Amino acid sequence: ENLDKGLEKTKTSFMSKMSKAVAGKTKVDEEVLDDLENVLVSSDVGVATTIKIINRIEERVARDKYLGTEELNKILREEIAGLLSESETGEAANIQLPDVKPYVIMVVGVNGVGKTTTIGKLAHQFRSAGNKVVLGAADTFRAAAIDQLQIWADRTDVPIVRQKMGSDPASVAFDTVQSAVKQNADVVLIDTAGRLHNKVNLMNELTKVKRVMQKVIPNAPHEVLLVLDGSTGQNAFEQAKQFTAATEVTSLAVTKLDGTAKGGVVIGISDQFKIPVKYIGVGEGVEDLQVFNKYEFVDSFFK
């Protein structure tokens, strides 16, 4: 229900473009396919993924000889879901934690994408599920980032490890995992700085944060969660490219889907990067971070 509400703008815009593409047509022909291609590209699915989808539909048209436009929604829904299941390597997503304690999640992404909010929502959900959570404020470059995380720590009633602004992010990360081990915590969420202006700096910094954590927990972080702002459309692709080049990203969260018609970006990103989308943000409240389910996601477009 939250999901449908959260994706409403994307759905409305997508469905209205779709109905224009097939208006007055009974049969899927070249022209309808061209229009469909434009619909997908303008819905931020991305060119490469759009071409894959169109090819799949063309194959079906060629095989079945005839495809009625009234069936197009159903076929499209099947093909997109099929594409996503090929690209999604992760297990069926859920908020449960693997059997590793403490499970360390390093959260990365540029400023403003909703990193802190996502950490706060996750802290709330993990805690509600009965886990002991510790937050680490390793984005030490902005005082506001530390303060924001503190607000979430207070709101969700979980401990936070912080140092003063300007201190070494790796040192904060070290303190955080050490404290988590001492407290016998279940999960650690580490915020990091998202300055993208210098790729080498970003890479060095994330590498150092990881290396220092590993002095306490040899295979930490167990998860590197990249947060992307879905409302930026193609820019989110660009950020995913840069971060995956700088560090090994293992999961994705796409935020702010509620305020945008660019929700198709989730389809393109999961196809292009072969990294499971684990969470989507569909609002500012603590409950508005949802575990991503590709079938529900695609269904909510065509409902």
Annotation: binding site: 109-116, 191-195, 255-258
Applying CB under 6 A, which of residues 70, 74, 96, 112 lies at the interface with ligand GDP?
112
Are residues 260 and 281 in contact, defined by beta-carbon separation less than 8 angstroms?
A: no
Of 7-15, 40-48, 253-261, 268-276: span binding ligand GDP (CB under 6 A): 253-261
Rounded Cα distance, 65 and 235, in Å: 39
Binding residues for GTP: 109-116, 191-195, 255-258
Cβ–Cβ contacts within 10 Å for residue 150, how many?
15
114 binds ligand GDP (CB under 6 A): yes
Applying CB under 6 A, which of residues 89, 284, 287, 303 lies at the interface with ligand GDP?
284
Applying CB under 6 A, which of residues 82, 90, 159, 259 lies at the interface with ligand GDP?
259
Rounded Cα distance, 33 and 75, in Å: 13
Applying CB under 6 A, which of residues 87, 116, 131, 300 lies at the interface with ligand GDP?
116
- In the window 43-72, what residues touch ligand GDP (CB under 6 A)? none
148 binds ligand GDP (CB under 6 A): yes
Using the structure block, give the residue that is written with the tokens 């908020």. Answer: 95
Q: Is 75 exposed, middle or buried (0-12, 13-18, 19+ CB in 10 A)?
A: middle
Question: Closest separation between CB of residue 209 and ligand GDP, Å?
Answer: 16
Are residues 37 and 50 in contact, defined by beta-carbon separation less than 8 angstroms?
A: yes
Using the structure block, give the residue that is written with the tokens 């936070």. Answer: 160
Question: Closest separation between CB of residue 53 and ligand GDP, Å?
Answer: 26
Question: Closest separation between CB of residue 189 and ligand GDP, Å?
Answer: 12
Are residues 188 and 134 in contact, defined by beta-carbon separation less than 8 angstroms?
A: yes
260 binds ligand GDP (CB under 6 A): no
239 binds ligand GDP (CB under 6 A): no
Structure tokens at 303: 């409902």
Shortest-Cβ-distance residue relative to ligand GDP: 281
87 vs 192 by CB, closer to ligand GDP = 192
Binding mask 81-110 for ligand GDP (x = CB under 6 A): ----------------------------x-
Residues that bind ligand GDP (CB under 6 A): 109, 111-117, 148, 255-256, 258-259, 281-284, 288
